[in-house]
């Protein structure tokens, strides 16, 4: 290859190699994470597959494989409550509404349909959950039983900005030593990252699968524990790598 040809090839590749690979996050964001048992008992949730710190773009979601809530009454399927909506550039997301029945902690969760990411050559499945409390304070640490899941070691609501969130990464119920966890803040448009490393925070669990992170700003924070899954078929029927994620969403509130 001549020097001029090599330089031309490098020039073409430069935009590809310099482009940031922003993290994907499956959002499951409730209208509130603490419900007063004397007020409106209905909670609405938004399910969006996106890059939260960058405020988008939104990726198309297929209809979730499973969506439900875990409470003292057990698991309840909420699939019939799903409503498809359009976000961003006409991309499909979902909403649902659920009325809480009694004082308890409610763990809402979603298993989305696999998302094919051609840029990374893999399928992505992010099992996401969020805890909503209604005058209980108990049950927030119950495991849903997702293939990949974060077990909270800190009550995941009623947290001040700066509080330390801790959790354990589990796959098929077993701890995952040195698992990688990506962390992003759901940006309301008020913050611009000074450079790419600030977009997604990256931490590693210890030998027991435990991790910790202090949330520096009020708002919703997503914690995504990522592991490799079995190969699955892409839209062309070819076996490709599969990224499995166990996500939990936690809200921090400023002291005023």
For residue 22, name the pLDDT band (cuts at 50, 70, 90). low
Amino acid 18: pLDDT: 37
Instruction: Determine the pLDDT at residue 21.
Output: 54
CA 187, CA 55: separation in Å to the nearest integer? 6
Query: In this structure, how many other beta carbons lie within 10 angstroms of the beta carbon of residue 217?
Result: 14
Look up the pTM and report it. 0.90
Q: How far is the CA of 160 from the CAs of 91, 139, 163, 248, 256, in angstroms?
A: 33, 20, 6, 17, 10
Q: Cα angle vertex 125, ends 223, 90, to 5°?
A: 95
**Residue 75 pLDDT:** 98
Give the pLDDT score at 36: 85
Nearest to 63 by CA among 127, 121, 110, 129: 110
- What does the pLDDT average to over 1-25? 47
* pLDDT score, position 2: 46
Distance CA 200, CA 221 (A): 11
DSSP character at residue 65 = S
Q: What is the pLDDT of residues 30-48, one digit of tens each?
A: 999 999 877 789 999 999 9
Question: Model confidence over 46-83: pLDDT tens digits?
Answer: 999 999 999 999 999 999 999 999 999 999 999 999 99
Distance, CA of 95 to chain centre: 15
C-alpha span between 83 and 190 (Å, rounded):
29
User: Taking a C-beta distance cutoff of 8 angstroms, is the pair 178, 204 a contact?
Assistant: yes
Beta bridge partners of 245: 126, 226
Q: Which residues contact 12 (CB under 8 A, 6 or more apart)?
A: none
CB 213 within 8 A of CB 201: yes
């Amino acid at each position: 290859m001549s020097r001029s040809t090599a330089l031309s090839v490098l020039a073409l590749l430069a935009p590809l190699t310099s482009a940031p690979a922003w993290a994907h996050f499956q959002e499951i964001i409730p209208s509130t994470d603490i419900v007063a048992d004397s007020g409106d008992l209905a909670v609405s949730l938004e399910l969006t597959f996106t890059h939260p710190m960058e405020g988008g773009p939104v990726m198309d979601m297929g209809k979730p494989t499973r969506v439900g809530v875990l409470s003292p009454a057990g698991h309840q399927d909420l699939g019939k409550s799903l409503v498809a909506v359009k976000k961003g550039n006409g991309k499909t997301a979902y909403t649902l509404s659920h009325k809480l029945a009694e004082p308890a902690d409610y763990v809402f969760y979603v298993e989305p349909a696999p998302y094919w990411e051609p840029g990374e050559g893999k399928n992505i499945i992010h099992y996401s959950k969020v805890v909503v409390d209604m005058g209980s304070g108990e049950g927030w640490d119950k495991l849903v039983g997702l293939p990949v899941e974060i077990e909270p070691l800190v009550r995941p609501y009623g947290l001040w900005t700066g509080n330390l969130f801790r959790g354990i990464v589990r796959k098929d119920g077993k701890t995952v030593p040195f698992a990688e966890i990506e962390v992003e803040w759901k940006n309301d448009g008020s913050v611009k990252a000074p450079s790419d490393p600030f977009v997604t925070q990256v931490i590693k669990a210890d030998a027991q699968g435990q991790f910790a992170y202090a949330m520096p700003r009020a708002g919703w924070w997503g914690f995504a524990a990522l592991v490799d899954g079995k190969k699955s078929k892409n839209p062309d029927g070819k076996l490709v790598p599969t990224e499995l994620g166990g996500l939990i969403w936690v809200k921090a509130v400023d002291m005023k």
